[in-house]
Structure 1
Amino acid sequence: MDLLETCQDLAAWRQQQQAPLHFVPTMGSLHEGHQQLIRRAAALRQGSGQPPSVLLSVFVNPLQFGPGEDLESYPRNLRSDIDLAAAAGATALFAPNVAEIYPRGEAGLTRVVPPLLLRQGLCGRHRPQHFEGVATVVIRLLTLVRPDLLLLGEKDWQQLVILRRVVADLGLPLRIQGCPTVREADGLACSSRNRRLSPSQRQQAAALPAGLAAAAAQVRGGLSQAPALTSQLARQLEAAGLRVDYVELVAPHSLEPLQQVQGLALLATAVHCGSSRLIDHCFLMSRLPIVAIDGPAGAGKSTVTRAFARQMGLVYLDTGAMYRALTWWVLRQGADPADAAAVEPLLLDLDLQLSAGGAGEQLVSINGFDVTEAIRSPEVTAQVSLVAAHGCVRQALTAQQQAMGLKGGLVAEGRDIGTAVFPDAELKVFLTATAAERARRRAQDLERRGFEVPPLAELEAQIAARDHQDSSREVAPLCQAEDAVELVTDGMAIKAVIQALVDLFRERVPEEAWPAANGV
Structure 2
Amino acid sequence: MSVAIALDGPAGAGKSSIAKRAAKALDFIYVDTGALYRTIGLAATRKGVEPKPSDEVEKLLNEITVDLTFNDKGEQIVLLDGEDVSGLIRTPEASMMASKISAVPSVRAYLLDLQRNMAKSHNVIMDGRDIGTVVLPDANVKIFLTASPEARAQRRYKELCEKGMDVKYEDILNDVITRDYNDTHRQTAPLKPAEGCVMVDTTELDFEQSVEKIISVIKEHCRL
The answer to whether TM tops 0.5 is yes
2:9 aligns with one of 285, 295, 302 = 295
- Tell me the secondary structure at the aligned position of residue 355 of structure 1: strand
- Report the alpha carbon displacement of residue 505 of structure 1 after superposing the two structures with TM: 1.1
Give the structure 1 partner of residue 85 of structure 2.
371
Shift of residue 331, structure 1, vs aligned partner: 0.6
Whichever residue aligns with residue 100 of structure 2, its letter is: L
Aligned length: 224
Residue-by-residue CA offset, 1:81-132 (whole Å, 9 max, x unaligned): xxxxxxxxxxxxxxxxxxxxxxxxxxxxxxxxxxxxxxxxxxxxxxxxxxxx
Normalising by structure 1, report the TM-score: 0.42
SS at match of 1:491: coil
Q: Secondary structure of the equivalent of 1:292?
A: strand
> Could you say which residue in structure 2 is the equivalent of 1:310?
24
Matched, 1:352 2:66: yes
The corresponding residue for 1:183 is none
Pairing 1:435–2:149 present: yes
Q: Which structure 1 residue ranges, 5 or more long, are not aligned?
A: 1-286, 512-520
Cα-to-partner distance string for 1:287-342 (whole Å, 9 max, x where unaligned): 31100000000000000100101111111111000001111111111211235332
Q: Hey, what's the Cα distance between the residues in 1 that align with 2:18 and 2:93?
A: 24
Does the CA contact (< 8 Å) of 1:354 and 1:363 recur in 2? yes
Q: Any conservation in 1 of the 2:160–2:167 contact (CA below 8 Å)?
A: yes
Residue 418 of structure 1 deviates from its aligned partner by 0.2
1:480 paired with 2:202, answer no
- Structure 2, gaps ≥5 residues long: none
The answer to which structure has the higher helix fraction is 2
Structure 1 distance, partners of 2:119, 2:54, is 27
Contact 2:143 2:197 in 1 (8 A): yes
**Any residues of structure 2 matched to 1:7-406 within 5 Å, and which?**
287-348=1-62, 350-406=64-120
The CA distance in 2 between the partners of 1:375 and 1:394, in whole Å, is 18
Say whether the 8 Å CA contact 1:299–1:438 is kept in structure 2. yes
- Alignment partners' CA distance in 1, 2:89 and 2:218: 30
CA RMSD between the two structures = 1.4
Decide whether the 8 Å contact of 1:416 with 1:479 is kept in 2. Answer: yes
Equivalent residue for 1:505, pick from 203, 215, 218: 218
- Matching residue's letter, 1:393: V
> Once the two structures are superposed, what CA deviation does each residue of 1:50-100 show, in whole Å capped at 9, x if it has no partner?
xxxxxxxxxxxxxxxxxxxxxxxxxxxxxxxxxxxxxxxxxxxxxxxxxxx
Matched, 1:492 2:209: no
Letter in 2 for 1:373: G
| Pairwise CA distance, 1:502 | 1.4
Question: Shift of the alpha carbon at 1:449?
Answer: 2.7
Matched with 1:467 is 180
Give the Cα separation in 2 of the matches to 1:464 and 1:379: 15
| 1:442–1:474 Cα change, 3 Å | same
Q: Could you tell me how far 1:349 is from its partner in structure 2?
A: 5.1
SS of structure 2 residue aligned to 1:412: strand
How far residue 400 of structure 1 moved from its aligned partner, in angstroms, is 1.6
Contact in 1 for aligned 2:52/2:101 (Cα 8 Å): yes
Could you tell me the percent identity over the aligned residues? 35
In structure 1, what is the Cα distance between the partners aligned to 2:153 and 2:28? 29
Structure 2 counterpart SS, 1:353: strand
**Counterpart among 126, 139, 146 of residue 412 in structure 1:** 126
Find the residue that maps to 2:79 and give its secondary structure.
Answer: strand
List 4+ stretches of structure 1 deviating above 4 A: none
Distance in 1 separating the partners of 2:161 and 2:69 = 26
Alpha-carbon separation, structure 2, partners of 1:472 and 1:447: 30
Residues of 1 paired with 2:53 and 2:116: CA distance?
26
The 3 A distance-change label for structure 1 pair 361 and 407 is closer
TM-score (norm 2): 0.95
Moved more, 337-346 or 311-320: 337-346
- Give the drift of 1:457: 2.4
Which protein has greater RCO, CA pairs closer than 8 Å, 6+ apart?
2
Kept in 2: contact 1:340–1:392 (CA 8 A): no
What SS is found at the alignment partner of 2:215?
helix
